[in-house]
Chain A
Amino acid sequence: MSRAVPAGVVAAVRRSVSMVCDPEYPEVTVAELGILERVSSSDDGSTVRIELVPTMLGCPALDVIARDVTDAARAACAGADISIEVAFVDNPVWTPDRIAPSAVSFLAREYSVAVRRRSATASCPICGGTALEHRSDFGPTPCRSVEWCPQCRNPVEVVGRVEFPAAMGAAQSRPVPA
């Protein structure tokens, strides 16, 4: 395992794992969702390391994503004697801002799922209304909350929660990155 990673392998692995799709949204890649953080080779060159950012620590799809990413990386360096290391990292913290704009419109169009990013107003994927009303922080998956569109009178699933000030002390003492 002391051989250096051949030039081009890291790039090939990056290309390959970028195309791995999310189990929840099988047409959207982990790269577009901002789950893929970094592909690099170890200092001694024997290992390609892939860092992933979990959307939520308790996301039940993490193991599936890690497995699919590992398989894709292995396929990209088929035949080469290189070990693959896949790790979920706690830093940076995933936020909906990591989702690529192309994926935001795809999720709205194909899944009727809205995305709330800090950089843009969340809008209703059905009618485009922007006056969404918060209903519940807890939707069908841990990363989706439930809102309501008063314009077209539909419930809307939103990736990313509204940031109210927390009701009490502890949570207010520190700015939180999500």
Chain B
Amino acid sequence: MGETEPVTAIEPAGHPAETPGARELVLALADDELCIGQNLGWWIAVGPFLEEDLALTSISQDELGHARALYGLLGDDIDAMAYGREPHEYLCAHITELPCHDWAETLVRHFLYDTAESVRWDALADSSWESLAAVARRAFAEERSHLRHATGLLDRLLRTDAGIAYLLPLFDQLAPMACELFDAPSGCSDEALVAAGVMSSELGNQRARWQDIVGDALAPAGYQPQWPVADPEAAASGGRAGRRSPHFAALHAEMVEVLSIDPSARW
């Protein structure tokens, strides 16, 4: 721990995993899962009701498991990848770093993130990188209950005046931010990844599909998010390019709290 481990090659040359950008893409998705999982874990014992406490922390556990499976595609020392890199080496989207200690914020982020994730897993489920496809299918199966949780609550809350008053302004704020989930990491060409069969559709197409899902869910409340135009320049200086938001330092410090006390600690 504490030292940067290079991402090690475990697949032979010519393998789809060697497609330029493939490992960076997987690393970005793993980092998203790690931060979301860590942030959702904050709700243990403080959820607004018991079932919600269990739901958010079970989802947290699932997302951390997905992070572990994705890091496992890149090398053997999963702890080093999850905890031991420099901040600029993480490729997570900034929305995953937000603490969201307000439950309404957590719900809106959860909905945006899990709908985005289901689109991403779907695009990887038939990947030519077979072990990535297996993780995607496995994670996608677990994702259903996350989606059901997010959409079930959202549906019900958006039928109330209080729900509308709380939640829609949060969509104004978080929906544009969530678009970064579909930005490519620096140096990653999604056209090349699609050509190599690593992904079945380009990130821009995935984003469009996700926006439709979000739009359909919010239409009954008479609301449509203001989607920003995809901006490659902004992406090149965002979370996928290694730039961390102000929330990352505290989140990371919490993740490595035990390891920094005892570097030999095991899970």
Contact = CB atoms under 8 A, between A and B. Distances in A.
Interface of A: 56-60, 63, 89-91, 93, 135-140, 142, 145-146, 161, 164, 166-171, 173-174, 176-178
A141 B62 CA distance: 11
Interface of A is mostly: loop
Nearest to A167: B151
Interface residues of B, number: 45
A145 B58 CA distance: 11
Nearest to B266: A63
B212 A176 contact: no
Contacts of A170: 115, 118-119, 122, 147, 209-210, 213
Interface string B29-60: 00000000100000000000001001100110
A89 B69 CA distance: 10
Contacts of A177: 137, 141
A142 B138 CA distance: 14
Given A57-B66, A90-B135, A167 B213 contact: no
Contacts of B182: none
Contacts of A166: 144, 147-148, 151
A142 B125 CA distance: 22
Contacts of A136: 51, 54-55
Interface string B190-218: 00000000000000000001101100110
B155 interface: yes
Contacts of A89: 134
